Amino acid sequence: MTQEDLAQQREQMVETQLESRDIQSERVLEAMKKVPRHLFMPESVRQYAYIDSPVPIDQGQTISQPYIVGLMTQTVDPKPGDRALEVGTGSGYQAAVLGELVQEVYTIEIIPDLAERAGKTLSDLGYDNVEVRQGDGYQGWPEKAPFDIILITAAPEKIPQPLIDQLAEGGRLVVPVGPQGEIQTLTLVTREKGEVKRTYITDVRFVPMTGEVQQLR
């Protein structure tokens, strides 16, 4: 398949899966037209890169459905000067989309093989504003805090307090909350004048957040 064919598939993905629903942010749509989603996936499943579904990427993890990536990105309302934290790098695709939209992205992945692979893919594609760390995302990235955006791509049963604490004034955090195997709640957390507010977005299903967060059950 040629690069032109793949670009056409991305265009169609954006038109049919995002624009036709409720993803209206022009910046988000343009970023998702640009990022080569297939390159963040194992070669064995790249033919599924632009379908309307999550796809397995090894280690029991998935690359999220394009619509959910678009929805979460639109929900955190990225600005060009923002600094973003992502917990759950996975393939690196969501970090790349953020990398197109904000000044700096810091992303943490608990599974060593995925962290290494995502870091290489992001580096090879020239995302110099994205830094990948292998480790447990529960404590966030304190030395780089506060963050304008925090995006969590795995589901805790309860939002880790250290991540809420690292949200800047005016910041936006989006996270799926709920037990594994059940319907989870995609939630927007905002901080305005020191007050933390939570807003329901939609029902979702994500892989569970692992590591220290599991001790809170």
Domains of the chain and CATH, by start? 3-216 (3.40.50.150)
Residue pair 114/64 in contact by the 8 Å Cβ criterion:
no
Regarding predicted confidence, which is higher, 181 or 55?
Answer: 55
Please list the residues that pair with 85 across neighbouring strands: 106, 150
What DSSP element (H or E) covers 176? strand 167-177
Confidence of residue 211 (pLDDT cuts 50, 70, 90): confident
What does the pLDDT look like over 47-78, one tens digit per residue?
Answer: 999 999 999 988 888 899 999 999 999 999 99
Pair of tokens at residue 72: 């979460």
What does the pLDDT look like over 7-24, one tens digit per residue?
Answer: 899 999 999 999 999 999
What does the pLDDT look like over 22-52, one tens digit per residue?
Answer: 999 999 999 999 999 999 999 999 999 999 9
State the pLDDT at residue 194.
83
Work out the average pLDDT over 167-179: 96
Percent of the chain topping pLDDT 90: 85
What does the pLDDT look like over 71-121, one tens digit per residue?
Answer: 999 999 999 999 999 999 999 999 999 999 999 999 999 999 999 999 999
Determine the length of the chain. 217
Per-residue CA distances from 168 to 152, 165, 174 (Å): 16, 8, 14
What does the pLDDT look like over 182-196, one tens digit per residue?
Answer: 899 999 999 999 899
Res 217 pLDDT > 60: no
State the pLDDT at residue 208.
86
Res 216 pLDDT > 70: no
What does the pLDDT look like over 118-161, one tens digit per residue?
Answer: 999 999 999 999 999 999 999 999 999 999 999 999 999 999 99
Instruction: Tell me the three state secondary structure of residue 181.
Output: coil
Residue pair 163/87 in contact by the 8 Å Cβ criterion:
yes
Res 201 pLDDT > 80: yes
- The DSSP annotation for 188-203 comes to EEEEETTEEEEEEEEE
Per-residue CA distances from 143 to 85, 106, 147 (Å): 12, 11, 11
pTM score above 0.85 = yes
Res 212 pLDDT > 70: yes
State the pLDDT at residue 140.
96
Give the whole-angstrom CA distance, residue 111 versus residue 123.
18
Which residues carry out catalysis? 64
Q: Which residues contact 202 (CB under 8 A, 6 or more apart)?
A: 71, 186
Strands, E assignment, 24-125: 55-58, 61-63, 83-87, 104-109
Give the whole-angstrom CA distance, residue 109 versus residue 132.
8
Pair of tokens at residue 6: 């793949």
State the pLDDT at residue 128.
97
